[in-house]
Structures are given as C-alpha cells and as structure tokens.
Amino acid sequence: MATLQAFSPLDGRLLGEYPVATADDISRTLQRARTAASIWSHTPVKQRCQILASFGELVLAELDAIVDCLRLTGGKVACEALLGEIYPLLDLLAYYRKHAPDILAERGVATSPFAFPGATAKVCYRPVGVAAVISPWNYPFQLSVAPLLTALFAGNAAILKPSELSLPVGQLIVDLFRRLDLPLDLVQWLPGDGSVGAQLIDAGPDLVFFTGSLAGGRAVMRQAAQHPIPVLLELGGKDAMLVFADADLPRAAAAAVYGAFSNSGQVCVSVERLYLQRQCHDQVLQRLLEATEQLRVGAGADAELGAMVSGRQIELIKAQYDDALAQGAAASGPLVCDGNFVRPVVLWNVHHGMRLMREESFGPLLPVMAFDSEADAVALANDSEFGLNASVWSRDIAKAERVAQQLQVGNWAVNDVIKNIGHAGLPFGGVKRSGFGRYHGAEGLLAFSYPVSGLTSRSHLPKEPNWFPYSAQHYRALQGYLDFVHGGGSLRQRIKRNWPALQAFREYSAFDLAQRWHNLKLLLSWHRNYR
C-alpha cells in the first residue's frame, strides 16, 4: 500500500505516515457519506446548530494541541495559528449558529392574482448531498473547517481531501468531528495527492469546494465538467494596497508590512502590490525598510515569521526576485534562505513587466510602485488577471470608498488589510482568475444548498387564463392585459384604455359584482407593489 510521509518544515522531523486512498477507498467513502447525508439532511436546522456548536467547545479545550499541530505541520508561528486559523472559525461557527435557521428558512414569494389566481408560492432550501472539500496547505485548518462547517450547517455530508503537505492537520480535523454527536461517517477524509482529488471528483460528489492555485482550479474544473458537478473555486490573488498621501502613513506602513509578510506571505490575500502616491512614496518606503529589518524570523515563541511550507514555493519567489533585479528593481537586501526560513524583502523601482507584479508570489516579497492620481491608482490596481481582495488608504473615507468601488475585486477594505476576509457575515470570493462562488455569510451557506420553488393553487375556477381554447378575441384581451400591467401612462389611463380586456377576464373571479371588485383591488395592489 502506498503511503505519504509528512515532515515538519521547521526542522524536518517526521510527523507521520498516511496510507494513500485507493479507488476502492474513495468509492466506499462516498457510499458511507451518502448514508450519513440521508440522516443528517432530515435533522432540523436548529438541532444541527446545537450539535455543531460543540465543535467550538472542542477547539477551545484542545487549543494548545491544535496550535502545536499547525505550527509543526505548516511552519507558522503560534500567534498566526491563533489569529489566522482558529479565531475566524469560531466567529463563523457563532454566526451560523445564530443565523442559519433564518437563512435556510422557507420563504414566501408574492404572486399575481391574475396570472396565479388562488395560488401561493414559496422557496425552500435543500442540502446538495455530499460535498467534497479540497483544501490547501497554507491555512489547512481554517480553509478546511470553514467549508466543512458550512456544508454541515446546510445539511450535507462532507469528504475532506487536504493537501498532501498538511496531512497531520487533516487527521486532526476528522478526529475532532468524530467527537461530535453526528451521524457516523458524516465527515470523512481521503489522504493523498492531486490524483486522489481527481478520483474523488470522478466518484461523483454533489459539489466540489476547492481552495488553491489557478492551475489547480483549472484542473478541478476540467475534471468536474466531465460529469458535470458544480464547483466553487477560491483561487489565487495579487492583492493591491493603494496608499494616498492623505492617509495615516505610519499606520499604513505598519499594515503593509503585516499584510505582505504575515505567514511569510503565504496568504491568498497577502499584499502583493503596494502602490504609494508619489508625494508620500519615499517617506513610506523608508518606514517599510525600517520595519522589515526589525522582523524576527524563526521557530521561537517571539518569532513573527515562521518557515515556508514548500521548497517549490521558495524556488518560485527566488525566480521572481532575480527577474525583478535583472530588470532594474532595487531591493532591501538579498533573498536569504536558511532552510525553509526566508528573510522578507522589499523591492522598489518595479513595473508591471516584471513577474513579481504579474504572478502570485505567495512568499515574503513586497514590491512598491508610485502612482499620481486616483485614476492612475485604479488603473494600476486593475491591471491584473486576479481580482480577490484590495485595500485603499486615506483619511478621506468618501474618496477611499469611491476608489475601492472601482476596483475589480470580490472584496475590499478601507484603512485595514486581510482582516476583512475573516468577517463571518461578509461573503468572500474572487472575480476574474481568482475564482467564483462565495463562502461566509448567507451566500456561503446557500452555496451548499439548492433552492426548490413551489407553487400551490387553491383555485376553484374551471380553467386558468392561459389554458385552451385560444382565439383572436382571447389574444386581444391578453394584449390589453399586458398593456395594463406593463404599458406607459398613469394607472387611470391604462385602466381606461384596457377596460374591455379586463372585463374579458371576469370569468376568472367570482361572478358576483362584489367579488369581481375584490379581485380587481387585489390586482391593483399587486400592480402597485410588484410592478
């Protein structure tokens, strides 16, 4: 049986060996998930919320063990594990526990008394069935558990396929869910590389939620299209930070250093392009250089940057760094690597012809470029194939929001970085090549559901207005009704010119005058409110 070994990027120690899931494993896992889903989907939403709330209690009880696992597996510092992996999950859990019953509640929809006499309409939401969650290595706890919880709140079973670089975290997650009062096999996992993810998609889950690179997203989409299976893709970013001269410059500089180098830059919403208005460029750049020099890199308790997870990613940022210098960029220093620990670097005199400004870096590089006007800043920020997140910095909030609303992104923040994606009530996702679909907020919960529309007629009429027989007279009456509802002029004018047509439909109401008048009032009321 093939196995995968997990090694810590901190010191290279072996963390465990995991059997690679086979085709038979995948098939059996999916069958068990369907059985569990059939039970869980019939559990009332409020009861689901009560059961899933216990997950937060488990996380708090096991906090140090979880942080240690994240530190050893992903190389991140302890504070980053708390702030980036655990805190947002607890917020999301609390948000859905409070709001899921309302979000998923059946809702009535108004109907026209002419088109649907005696009818009521409603929409209800059903779970998709089995959701496959394919998660990345940079935030293996948060970016696995958030979609898993969302799937469960919506009433689904879930199968996790974590990155082969974060298998210890995958095991930890499944072990935590097994301690909840959930149907057997409601949450399962499949260890393996990309080929296991492809086989999982081919096995036929009902939804695929993928977080990863653009190349990985394309592969998932191609695979899912063969069946077809709906996909939600959370892909890469090349996030811009725009700092105007009237901003709080010390705060903006501190935010840029955090936004670029948090988790050694291995964040999908890292600040990967910093644009400074020319009047403040040199002042802010000096602050950046001083702050970057003070950052502590290592595995100690007081370190601010930990290890990078992947040697392949280190090679990629080396290539970007070398390309930038070859094209005339200046750097705060050499790219120093000590094993998987990489010193952060600020670069300036950059331009959009450099790989550093076009490709996702996912490492501790911060390129800085000047702009002159609002229009210039917007054009530079939008000159990217990615569109995930952005931030705008100015004391003039109206100006900052005006600029932010022109950016081609799925999310933005004014005078803050990264943190906005952790807001549990705000849907998060990208545009352009940063993917599609959303999680968090009501939109995220509904993404793991499908709407079912229902119409119930209580009419006792012998026939409906659209039923046979048709005639030239019926056509003219329908014409008049369409003009009454959608034509121009005042309501009085439309009633006057279409009164014969409205009279033609009197058979669809009770025959006595009072009832006909009541139906007409209903029609006029509907027209005023929903036209």
- Contact predicate 340/365, CB 8 Å: no
List, as one string, the DSSP characters of 198-243: HHHHHH--SEEEEES-HHHHHHHHHHHHTTT--EEEE----EEEEE
- Contact predicate 416/430, CB 8 Å: no
The single-letter code of the amino acid at 187 is V
Torsion angles phi and psi, residue 339, rounded to 5? 65, -125
- Half-sphere exposure (CA, 13 Å, Cβ side) for 283? 14
Scanning the structure block, which residue is given the tokens 């097994």?
178
Question: Nearest 10 degrees: CA dihedral of 64, 67, 69, 71?
Answer: -130
Cis peptide before 228 (omega within 30 of 0): yes
CB-neighbour burial class of residue 399 (10 A; exposed 0-12, middle 13-18, buried 19+): middle
Give SS3 for 376.
Answer: helix
List, as one string, the DSSP characters of 396-431: -HHHHHHHHTTS-SS--EES--SGGGG-TTS-B--E
Scanning the structure block, which residue is given the tokens 């990078």?
308
- The rounded distance, in Å, linking the Cα atoms of 256 and 283 is 14
Triad 476, 479, 480: Cα angle to 5°: 90
CA nearest to 143, candidates 97, 86, 96: 86
Torsion angles phi and psi, residue 476, rounded to 5? -65, -35
Over the range 365-384, which residues count as b (16 or more CB within 10 Å of their CB) and which as e?
bbbbbbbeebeebbebbeeb
In the residue annotation, 234 being an active-site residue is answered as: yes
Going 234 to 444 to 36 to 54, the CA torsion angle's sign is positive
Marked catalytic residue, from 234, 272, 304, 359: 234
- Contact predicate 310/137, CB 8 Å: yes
Scanning the structure block, which residue is given the tokens 């998660």?
135
List, as one string, the DSSP characters of 22-64: PHHHHHHHHHHHHHHHHHHTTS-HHHHHHHHHHHHHHHHHTHH
Torsion angles phi and psi, residue 348, rounded to 5? -140, -175
Scanning the structure block, which residue is given the tokens 């229009």?
375
Instruction: Please list the active-site residues.
Output: 234
